[in-house]
Amino acid sequence: QRFFFFFSAAQATIQLPASPLSGYAVTFLDLNGTFATNKLTVDRNGQEIMNLAENMSATINHAAFTLVYTGATNGWKLLEVA
């Protein structure tokens, strides 16, 4: 799945699936370049992101990244970053 964000006035939180299948991937793209002012928080929803038990924040304008679920042992991993 791909999510394009057009934030202009507020921060947002996107919640990852609680029970994803291995190989499931989501892509995020800051089309308007507003993440530095209106950050995106990726809620891990109980799964680790990059082996960390914490949510992920995107705060760089025009950021784009893909997270892929690798399974319960390693959780979500960054696959692509732009």
Per-residue pLDDT tens over the stretch 26-55: 998 888 898 999 999 999 999 999 999 999
6: which DSSP letter?
-
The C-alpha torsion from 76 through 73 and 21 to 48, rounded to 10°, is -30
Residue 18 has pLDDT above 70, yes or no: yes
State residue 1's pLDDT score: 61
| pLDDT over 90 at 17, yes or no | yes
Q: How many other CB atoms sit within 10 Å of the CB of residue 39?
A: 17
Q: Which residues pair with 49 in a beta bridge?
A: 52, 76
Instruction: For residues 23-27, give the mean pLDDT.
Output: 93
Question: What's the pTM?
Answer: 0.88
Give the pLDDT band of residue 10 (cuts 50, 70, 90): confident
What is the C-alpha separation between 30 and 34, in angstroms, rounded? 7
**Percent over 70 (pLDDT), the chain:** 90
- In the numeric block, the tokens 């995107």 are attached to 58
